[in-house]
Chains A and B, each alone.
Chain A
Amino acid sequence: MHVVVCVKQIPDPAEPGKLEGDLTLDRSGKLILDESDSYGVEMALQLVDKAGGGEVTLVSMAPNNENSGLRTALAMGAAKAILISDPALSGAGALDTAKVLAAAIKSAEPDLVLAATESSDGYTGTVPEQIAALLGLPSITFAKEVHIEGQSVNVRRQTEAGYDEVTCPLPAVVSVTAGVVEPRYPSFKGIMAAKSKPVEEQTVAGLGLDPAGVGSAGAGQEIVAVEDAPVRNAGEIIVDEGEAFTNIVSFLDGLKVI
């Protein structure tokens, strides 16, 4: 069982986000493994374990050959990684990202591709399905549970009303929601081992794609402005001395909702 997991390395979400002069997200600082992707990595490791053999390959696209987030996922137990880094990818939209990741995944020939439903910083939530379309593979998104049975993958897929049980043949692309599994913490041994695991560095041309067709050159979209959102002002603040519930009751009364 060979599983590829798409992982994104993102600026620490605890830090306030910044934009570059060209209005793209500032990714120049240290990048970390997107927490959303830790679920896919854990899921992949568990599936390989259950299958009784195989390995997990990571695929990531990041500027400046940034790999600190990849090392975290390697420390969790992934065997190796493919890292695509190329100045041509600055300003890449979701479709460009999917094209690059799909090309890298193709070379890895996996049985299953896992990804998060959306990244924590961009949250477009279309890349996994776009990768599947580009590779001509079936896909199941928003997975809450994933099981392999013979040559099929069975998934509980989140819906508005509850969940659907969905099945499709392998190879396939599955996107997992946060919380599907409990991601393990890398052990000390894992962290040491990760330092020597192979990270294959790739470029757009190296993957057989045309650099002029990706990134801001090929995006088909252009940011025209970034504005501050209107702010909402704070109202009355009351410190509860035991009677503040009456303020809530009269506030609701004033709105005629009770």
Chain B
Amino acid sequence: MALKSIWVYAEATNGNVTPLSLELLAKARTLGGAVEVVYAGADADSLASELGAHGAAKIHSTGDLAASLPGVPVASAIAKAVADGHGPDLIMFGTTYDGRDIAARLSVALDQPVITNNTDIELDGDVVVVTEPIFGGMKLVKTKFTAAGPHIALFRPKSFVAEEAGGAPAEVVALEVTDPGAAKVTNRHVEEATGPKLDEAAIVVSGGRGLGEKDNYELIETLAKLLKAAPGASRAIVDAGWVPYSYQVGQTGKVVKPTVYIAAGISGATQHLVGMKGAKNIIAINKDPEAPIFSVADLGIVGDVHKVLPKLIEALQAR
């Protein structure tokens, strides 16, 4: 028996559905049953054709949440739909700031477990089984839901490949918010970002503590610009305040799967590897031949970043 109905919590930035939401829709379609979306924002109508093309038949829209953080209002709205008897069998969220808040609130409202950080989902008969990497991605744990549901699961970015299915625009239906919550946003700050986004770029150039000092991160930025790449970082230099948290690749940062990942002066701790070892090609520059990063590198350069990077930059500038 397949699942009768799956809801995917979709998010959008600047009027576009996020890649992660589309990845979840692609996976949801393979599980059988109706695929529908939950959306919190004023612009559900303008997303209907894109979400429909990716397989969503309906958008359950809360409408504009104004200044409310989404956790309480969206969870209250989904819980009411479940209580009224038209909820889904499975609700899929991305591992995002808001996704985690809503899933957590919802798990309490429905008294259901929530399983986070998954990279896969499958059906064993009518039992839902999810896969989660542990120990920095060294092991994969498969967990089945044993209660009646609805099941709540969160997925890491880049776990699935987004693909259009060519459906008609999704029908927008109202999802009633019963509790707006007391936490209010008073101001939003957008950190200026130029160039491609870290989790969408075809090439990522990341630097680590081996760069020696903050000013040397410029080498990474220059190289990234030349390669039309996104600059990234290990947690060590994020914690040291050299670059913002949004640059961090790894378990507690972004998961990237670019065509090429260049790691300069990064040791390759398991928590870093879990965020980048899905790259198609990995180039590592490290002066320590024993550095763990070399165990995943397709091209490993045992050398000093202060020597290799300037020459590489010069060679690329000369082209």
Residues of A within 8 A of B (CB): 16-17, 19, 23, 93-95, 98, 118, 123-130, 132-134, 138-142, 144, 154, 157-169, 172, 177-179, 219-229, 232, 234-240, 242, 244-249, 251-252, 255, 257-258
Contact = CB atoms under 8 A, between A and B. Distances in A.
13 contacts: A94-B104, A94-B107, A124-B116, A129-B101, A129-B104, A140-B183, A161-B191, A161-B193, A164-B187, A227-B140, A229-B138, A245-B308, A251-B299
B185 A165 contact: yes
Interface string B282-310: 11000001000011111111111001100
Nearest to A227: B140
B183 A158 contact: no
A234 B187 CA distance: 47
B319 interface: yes
Contacts of B129: 224
B173 interface: no
A245 B117 CA distance: 37
A130 B107 contact: yes
Dominant SS at the A interface? mixed
B: interface residue count bin: 35 or more
Contacts of B277: 232
B308 A166 contact: no
A126 B103 contact: yes
Interface string B148-175: 0000000000000000000000000000
B138 A228 contact: yes
Contacts of B182: 138, 168-169, 172
Given A219-B113, A220-B113, A239 B298 contact: no
Interface in B172-193: 181-191, 193
A137 to B, nearest CB: 9
A235 B299 contact: yes
A244 B143 contact: no
B64 interface: no
A93 B89 CA distance: 20
Contacts of B295: 232, 234
A163 B193 CA distance: 13
Closest 8 CB pairs of A and B: A240-B303, A129-B104, A220-B147, A133-B108, A126-B104, A235-B298, A162-B191, A138-B182
Interface in B248-301: 251-252, 259-260, 262, 277, 281-283, 289, 294-301
B4 interface: no
A125 B107 CA distance: 13
Given A165-B185, A227-B140, A244-B308, A177 B245 contact: yes
A248 B299 contact: yes
B133 to A, nearest CB: 6
B243 interface: no
A248 B312 CA distance: 8
B142 A126 contact: no
Given A138-B183, A239-B303, A162 B189 contact: yes
B108 A130 contact: yes
A3 B115 CA distance: 29
Nearest to A99: B108
